[in-house]
Amino acid sequence: MGSHENELPSAVTLRRQVIFWAVTFVVLVLCLYVLRQILLPFIAGLALAYFLDPVADWLERLGLPRLAATFVILGLFLLVFVLALLLVLPILGDQIASFAQKLPGYVNTLVARANELTPPWLLEMIQQSGPKLSGSLSDVASRLAGWIGSLLGSIWSGGMALVNLVSLAVVTPIVAFYMLVDWDRMVARVDSWLPRDHAETIRQLARQMNEAVAGFIRGQGTVCLSLGLFYAVSLTVAGLDFGLLIGILSGLLSFIPYIGSLVGGILSIGMALVQFWPDWIMVLTIAGIFAIGQFIEGNFLSPLLVGDRVGLHPVWLMFALFAFGYLFGFVGLLLAVPMAACVAVLVRYALKRYLSSPLYLGGSGPDPARAGGEAGQNSESDRTT
């Protein structure tokens, strides 16, 4: 009887914790959904501060005050960024405007190339199944290309693009500056708010989340910069039209798993078919550049810089991308992996608590030796659960 009475407070406490964290998660998602239109510069600033925080800590250990270290880091970063913009932005702007204008013609050319490469028996089958199918596909492709071209042109030349660019250029460094200066102070303040009975558990979960998020933001951010530089230089040297634009776009979109390589490969190979046809050597050269980039990323960059610290199965990763992208748009795609990694840490912890709770064990109750052994497991063993 006494054992049953001891189990009831534990079950009630566990239920209260589950309800509290579930409500907190729902409120967080609702806030992100309501504010999704204005989040991009703040998220960019937070990611930049998170990316540069280890450098600030290193300078602080060398004896430089935190404020001075922040000024040095952001000053050097902004200097390199502005110089890169001054060198690349005019060329990039011309390529975006020209690409948007020529995109419908490129799509029509690719449709013609596809008709030439399609086996006669397949063309005959298509014509027999629907005489207007080929023309309909060409019409749809032309309209889609025209819409994408108009969208790119309006994004580049429209007033909203200027507002977004100014907000990113102004708000992001300010947010990054204050986050870098106050990072340790904010962490200490949040730690002081933790319930004392559960402070160590929350700290352990926060450390696991930090490891996963840091592995993705810092590691994947470095991968993106490396891939963008490699693709831009390689495609430009190979002579591909709009090689700089396609290379930079592929590198930046590599922050979103699967998207960067997919978009970059389709754009570059399609552009090569339009520009170099029927020179298959050049087409295969462009395809080879992306194959080399993916090989370097998959075998060297990602294992070295990211590793398995995110701890997400590819299926759940794709689900997170679709779900967050559907709910929050482009900002959701940026948040998908870090948020999914944090949720995965909480799910693993909840599963561990459930497996040692009376709800799972029934009337037998938890085994103290087993519970003690599970409590001592490290985060690496939790990740494999």
Q: Could you report the per-residue pLDDT of 316-333, keeping only the tens digit for each?
A: 878 888 888 787 777 777
Residue 379 has a pLDDT of 44
pLDDT of residue 97 exceeding 60, the answer is yes
Comparing C-alpha atoms, which of 36, 51, 48 is closest to residue 331? Answer: 36
Q: Quickly state the pLDDT bin for 128 (edges 50, 70, 90).
A: low
Please write the tens of the pLDDT for every residue from 198-241: 788 888 888 888 888 877 777 888 888 888 889 999 998 988 88
pLDDT of 61-78, one tens digit each? Answer: 888 888 888 888 888 888
Report long-range pairs for 286-293 (Cβ below 8 Å, ≥24 apart). 286/235, 286/238, 286/240, 289/231, 289/234, 289/235, 289/238, 290/231, 290/250, 290/261, 290/264, 290/265, 292/234, 293/227, 293/230, 293/231, 293/234, 293/250, 293/261
The reported pLDDT for the residue numbered 36 is: 75
Q: What is the mean pLDDT of the chain?
A: 75
Q: Is the peptide bond before 338 cis (omega within 30 degrees of 0)?
A: no
> What's the mean pLDDT in 242-265?
82
Q: Output the pLDDT for position 385.
A: 40
Q: Which pLDDT score, from 0 to 100, does residue 164 have?
A: 58
Judged against a pLDDT cut of 70, whether residue 28 lies above it is answered with: yes
- Which of residues 149 and 41 earns the better pLDDT score? 41
Q: Which of 103, 82, 81, 201 is nearest to 151 (CA)?
A: 103
Position 3 pLDDT exceeds 50: no
Q: Which of 136-140, 262-266, 303-307, 325-329 has the lowest mean pLDDT?
A: 136-140
The pair phi, psi for residue 269, each rounded to 5°, is -70, -40
How far is residue 341's CA from residue 34's CA, in Å, rounded to a whole number?
22
CA 375 to chain centre: 32
User: pLDDT tier at 378 (50, 70, 90 boundaries)?
Assistant: very low
Q: How far apart are CA 255 and CA 141, in angstroms?
A: 28
What percent of the chain lies above the pLDDT cut of 70? 75
355 touches 373 (CB < 8 A): no
Instruction: Give the CB-side neighbour count of residue 378, counting CA atoms within 13 A.
Output: 2
Between residues 154 and 53, the one the model is more confident about: 53
The reported pLDDT for the residue numbered 373 is 45
pLDDT at position 230: 92
Q: For position 129, what pLDDT does the model report?
A: 54
Does the pLDDT at position 144 exceed 80?
no
Residue 316 phi, psi (nearest 5): -65, -30
pLDDT over 80 (residue 344):
yes
pLDDT at residue 103 in the model: 76
Average pLDDT over residues 22-41: 80
- Predicted confidence at residue 73, as pLDDT, reads 86
Show the DSSP H helices in the chain as ranges.
2-34, 40-61, 66-117, 120-129, 133-157, 159-193, 199-237, 243-253, 259-276, 280-296, 302-305, 314-328, 330-355, 358-361, 368-375, 379-383
